[in-house]
């Protein structure tokens, strides 16, 4: 369930929601980012300089990925940008800005990170473990402030990250950083990738509804440090990550109805392996097509969990909070489901402003939707809020995560 706080003031870092007695509800949202803001126009020169790469062919390929065209000229179809390897759709990533932990200071301290073939996993994890905890702490504090409750009221912690590896895990480090009670029950979801944010919401919902009075803090935190590598002609697909992925954290204090699903024989389509040189990550170019072929059946299954709603709903009547894995996925979804361009506006805005920040991104999408609703009310727009909608993400497996959600404030206005 997603609802907006009509009487509150939306901030850039957090959004609070109205409670829904008897059902798990997203009570508040928050986010945090590292200090390093990357403008897409400067990615190519900065990356090539920082990795001491002077290969003109690789530079030209990365330039094409990072170029943001006139939106009227975007070709919304799946195209090859360079032969025999994975390419992005729509000719570009559509990303304009991102935040990243990696900086020139880090590379000066750890120059081996920019050298090919060096065993640097220890250094990467030292940086990443500290960064994800710091970002998750800041996002959680922003979320709790927006909620208006106290950290002492948190009963459960769900922590999601594909960017760290340590024992004890990041869930304990976050609980300590926040000063949570030792009695708080913790769950950590690791290496779930882009579907992790919605998987975390699903777990949080189950905890909240099975424990009356529970207050579940969900925190997601990701950084690309573990996958940072110099470019190589042997791995041109690495350039996609350089042009697309960003770092950050998200948090929620919680809600709504889930169904997980994974597709057989697709476990190599999103392939990530932890090696001494960092995470080696590769996307299959068939990913947008697989999602397109299966998304409608998945949405129908989610909608049938509430037949009374499904019988009277069309896709156009619903709101859509979709993890923006890339522009091709959003475009394929729009085409398959017949959605107009405005339905995925919040997702495209999150991708443009923050890149694909893995599990965090769904929080940014939801915050965008809350802000859009607030603006409509201030402007007294005639457009009505949708009462029902879907929160969706797609990750390794290929795993489909989804929640059928209800906007309680839209429902209240309908009764009025």
Comparing CA positions, the residue from 132, 87, 374 lying closest to residue 244 is 87
Number of C-beta neighbours around residue 165 at 10 A: 18
pLDDT given for residue 273 in this prediction: 79
- The distance of Cα 310 from the centroid of its chain, to the nearest Å, equals 27
Domain limits for position 84: 26-406
Strands 257-258 and 14-16 turn out to be: unpaired
Tell me the average pLDDT of the chain: 81
Cα dist from 113 to 104, 124, 305, whole Å:
11, 8, 48
Asked whether the beta carbons of 363 and 254 are under 8 A apart, the reply is no
Look at residue 5 and tell me if it is in a domain. Answer: no
Query: First CA to last CA across the chain, in angstroms?
Result: 20
Strands 14-16 and 28-32 turn out to be: antiparallel
Asked whether the beta carbons of 146 and 14 are under 8 A apart, the reply is yes
Residues 351, 31, 195, 224, CA torsion sign: positive
Look at residue 12 and tell me if it is in a domain. Answer: no
Q: Three-state SS for 278?
A: strand
Look at residue 1 and tell me if it is in a domain. Answer: no
| CA dist., res. 221 & res. 143, Å (int) | 14
The DSSP H or E segment spanning 221 is strand 216-222
| CA dist., res. 1 & res. 386, Å (int) | 12
What is the C-alpha R_g of the chain?
21
Q: What is the pLDDT of residues 178-198, one digit of tens each?
A: 999 999 999 999 999 999 999
pLDDT given for residue 175 in this prediction: 97
Asked whether the beta carbons of 282 and 239 are under 8 A apart, the reply is no
Look at residue 412 and tell me if it is in a domain. Answer: no
| CA dist., res. 97 & res. 40, Å (int) | 6
Count of the separate structural domains present in the chain: 1
- For residues 381-385, give the mean pLDDT: 72
Point out which residues pair with 220 in neighbouring strands. 160, 250
The DSSP H or E segment spanning 125 is helix 121-147
Look at residue 10 and tell me if it is in a domain. Answer: no
Q: What is the pLDDT of residues 265-281, one digit of tens each?
A: 888 888 777 788 887 77
272 against 135, higher pLDDT: 135
Look at residue 155 and tell me if it is in a domain. Answer: yes
Look at residue 180 and tell me if it is in a domain. Answer: yes
Look at residue 14 and tell me if it is in a domain. Answer: no
Strands 14-16 and 216-222 turn out to be: unpaired
Asked whether the beta carbons of 123 and 278 are under 8 A apart, the reply is no
Q: What is the pLDDT of residues 224-253, one digit of tens each?
A: 998 888 877 777 777 777 778 899 999 999
Judged on CB neighbours under 10 Å (0-12, 13-18, 19+), 272 is middle
- For residues 348-370, give the mean pLDDT: 94
Query: Where residue 48 sits, what CATH number does that domain have?
Result: 3.40.47.10
Number of C-beta neighbours around residue 68 at 10 A: 15
Our answer to whether residue 211 is catalytic in this structure is: no
pLDDT given for residue 381 in this prediction: 66
pLDDT given for residue 382 in this prediction: 66
pLDDT over threshold 60, residue 86:
no
Cis-peptide into 398, omega within 30 deg: yes
Q: What is the pLDDT of residues 291-320, one digit of tens each?
A: 999 999 999 888 887 777 667 788 998 999
Catalytic residue among 66, 194, 299, 386: 194
pLDDT given for residue 144 in this prediction: 94
Asked whether the beta carbons of 2 and 366 are under 8 A apart, the reply is yes
Q: Which residue has the tokens 């009462």?
A: 387
């Amino acid at each position: 369930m997603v609802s907006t706080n009509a009487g509150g003031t939306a901030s850039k870092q957090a959004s609070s929601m109205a409670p829904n007695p008897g059902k798990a509800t997203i009570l508040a949202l928050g986010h945090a980012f590292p200090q390093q803001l990357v403008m897409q126009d400067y990615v190519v020169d900065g990356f090539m300089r920082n990795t001491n790469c002077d290969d003109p062919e690789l530079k030209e390929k990365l330039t094409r990925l990072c170029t943001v065209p006139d939106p009227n000229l975007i070709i919304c179809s799946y195209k090859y940008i360079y032969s025999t390897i994975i390419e992005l759709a729509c000719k570009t990533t559509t990303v304009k800005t991102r935040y990243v932990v990696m900086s020139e200071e880090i590379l000066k301290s750890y120059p081996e990170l920019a050298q090919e073939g060096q065993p640097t996993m220890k250094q990467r994890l030292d940086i990443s473990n500290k960064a994800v905890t710091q970002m998750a702490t800041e996002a959680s504090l922003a979320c709790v402030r927006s909620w208006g409750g106290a950290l002492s009221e948190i009963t459960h912690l769900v922590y999601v990250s594909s960017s760290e590896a340590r024992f004890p895990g990041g869930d304990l480090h976050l609980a300590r950083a926040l000063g949570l009670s030792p009695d708080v029950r913790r769950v950590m979801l690791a290496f779930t990738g882009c579907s992790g944010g919605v998987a975390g919401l699903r777990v949080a919902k189950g905890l909240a509804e099975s424990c009356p009075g529970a207050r579940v803090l969900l925190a997601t935190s990701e950084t690309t440090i573990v996958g940072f590598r110099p470019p190589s002609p042997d791995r041109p697909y690495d350039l996609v990550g350089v042009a697309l992925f960003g770092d950050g954290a998200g948090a929620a204090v919680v809600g709504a109805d889930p169904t997980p699903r994974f597709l057989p024989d697709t476990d190599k389509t999103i392939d990530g392996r932890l090696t001494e040189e960092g995470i080696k990550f590769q996307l299959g170019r068939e990913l947008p097509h697989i999602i397109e072929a299966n998304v409608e059946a998945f949405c129908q299954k989610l909608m049938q969990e509430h037949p009374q709603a499904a019988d009277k709903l069309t896709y156009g009547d619903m709101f859509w909070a979709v993890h923006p894995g890339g522009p091709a996925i959003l475009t394929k979804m729009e085409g398959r489901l017949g959605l107009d361009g405005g339905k995925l506006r919040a997702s495209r805005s999150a991708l443009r402003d923050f890149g694909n920040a893995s599990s965090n991104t769904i929080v940014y999408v939801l915050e965008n939707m809350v802000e859009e609703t607030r603006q409509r009310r201030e402007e007294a727009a005639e457009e009505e809020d949708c009462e029902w909608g879907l929160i969706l993400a797609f990750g390794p497996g290929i795993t489909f995560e989804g929640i059928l959600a209800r906007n309680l404030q839209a429902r209240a206005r309908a009764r009025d």
